[in-house]
Amino acid sequence: MADEIDALPEGSVIVGWLADYMVLRGQLRVCQQDVNALFWGANVKSQITGRAP
């Protein structure tokens, strides 16, 4: 893939799109981790206390 990107013409917008995509993927990964922590943390706590989250 790196060779394909290197072969793109100078100033190609695709390079910017790929950079934006990588940033969005990183942000999504962080959000997903936060959601998992909230969901699983609440469920584990409710199992321990016997109360709904």
User: pLDDT tens-digit profile of 2-52?
Assistant: 899 899 999 999 999 999 999 999 999 888 888 877 777 656 555 555 565
What sections of 1-53 are H helices per DSSP? 2-6, 13-49
pTM: 0.57
* 53 pLDDT above the threshold of 70: no
How far is it, in rounded angstroms, from Cα 45 to Cα 41? 6
How far is it, in rounded angstroms, from Cα 26 to Cα 42? 24
Q: Distances in Å between the alpha carbon of 39 and those of 10, 19, 26?
A: 46, 30, 20
pLDDT number for residue 27: 92
Closest CA relative to residue 21, chosen from 38, 41, 1: 1
